[in-house]
Amino acid sequence: SIIYVITPTYARLEQKAELTRLSHTLLHVPNIHWIVIEDSPEKTALVQNFLNRTRIHSTHLYVATPSEYKMNRTDPHWLKPRGVLQRNAALDWLRNNTSPDDDGVVYFADDDNTYSLPIFEELGLAADLRYERPKVTNGKVTGWYTYRKPNRPFATDMAGFAINLNLIHQHPKAKFSNTFGAGRQESTFLTFFNLTLDELEPKANMCTQVLVWHTRTERSKTPYEEAMVKLYGADAYSNIE
């Protein structure tokens, strides 16, 4: 069975570092199909060249977030949802390019998180807490250990669950939306599948192993670039990949 890993990504100085790190994780996992969706009005050369060079089987898509939903550099990170139309583009791609009875599992892996290899065998994060996880009683999910917005029906992070590919086909309306609001993407998306909590399969030894880290990369600051160009000319910042 194939693991479809869905990764939204956007241009910033740290992008290639994030993609490199994630690709090196995925290289250790058999049967990965990596769907990388750029938040961009077109495919960029950077991502195109990057994917051409990795040995991971991949599909390259793009869709731009409309400007009213796009985060500004100075916005607090929780202000707007991110990766919404990009994940939807991947879901549509799956519906159009796999068949309803194909074996597969779908996992949303942001480009900046840190993934432990066992998670890909299990397929199966936290805000101001060391960790969050589902509550498991007698082998069934019965709720969530979460602090923020505890009333969400499925209080999981994007990196905290995976879905059978067949369900993506059986529920063609299941999608994300910029109107769901930040922090509610996962829960609202999962509501489309008409699931009850006890239908979820707790993984990672009844949700007792931490296998994903919500890492965030510090933004690079480049205040001396202008001075460098004055010193060395524009050459200092051209012909670089």
The footprint of ligand UGA (CB under 6 A) covers 7-10, 39, 65, 70-71, 77, 81-83, 86, 110-112, 125, 157-158, 182-183, 185, 216
Site for Mn ion in 5-44 (CB under 5 A): none
Judge whether 148 is annotated as a binding position.
no
Tokens of 92: 């549509």
Q: In 74-154, at which residue ranges do the beta strands (DSSP E only) sit?
A: 104-108, 114-115, 133-137, 140-145
Q: Where are the alpha helices (DSSP H) in the chain?
A: 15-26, 45-53, 84-97, 118-122, 165-170, 185-191, 204-207, 225-232
Active-site residue identified among 132, 186, 218, 241: 186
**2: which strand partners?**
104
User: Please, which residues have CB within 8 angstroms of residue 207's CB and are 6 or more apart in sequence?
Assistant: 133, 134, 136, 141
> Is 218 known to be catalytic?
no
* Contact residue for Mn ion among 112, 132, 157, 186 (CB under 5 A): 112
Query: By C-beta, is 40 or 209 nearer to ligand UGA?
Result: 40
Q: Detail the residues annotated as belonging to a binding site for UDP-alpha-D-glucuronate.
A: 8-10, 39, 82, 87, 110-112, 214-216
Q: Detail the residues annotated as belonging to a binding site for Mn(2+).
A: 112
User: Which residues form the catalytic set?
Assistant: 186
Q: Detail the residues annotated as belonging to a binding site.
A: 8-10, 39, 82, 87, 110-112, 214-216
